[in-house]
Amino acid sequence: MARPKGYWVGQVDVNNPEAYKKYVAGNAVAFEKYGAKFLVRGGQYETPEGNCRSRLVVLEFESYEQARACYYSDEYQAVIGFRTENDVSEGDIAIVEGWDG
């Protein structure tokens, strides 16, 4: 029987595009360690209802537990600290359990 996957659903406003590149390079370490797979990373979109930030991101993990472990890992917390303390971007992230099919 298939197990549910874990997902990060993020909405981001980038305030400093150059510094954001450093955040992206840094988060790759945690994402590789925890098996994250990008399903959505920017790109064209529309918002027929409600409000969204300027950039949308969806990552898939093998499980909800893996998704949580990645977010709370030392590797990710180090780069999120850089991102938030230096006003590189603002965002909303939800960690969600779901099925891929």
- Sequence spans of domains, the chain: 14-46+62-90
> What three-state secondary structure class fits 63?
coil
Instruction: Give the pLDDT means over successive 10-residue stretches in the chain (101 positions).
Output: 91 94 94 97 93 96 98 94 90 92 66
Spatial separation of the C-alpha atoms in residues 89 and 57, rounded to whole Å: 13
CATH for the 14-46+62-90 domain, from 3.30.70.100, 3.30.1130.10, 3.40.50.720, 3.40.50.300: 3.30.70.100
92 touches 25 (CB < 8 A): no
Q: What is the pLDDT of residue 101?
A: 66
27 touches 71 (CB < 8 A): no
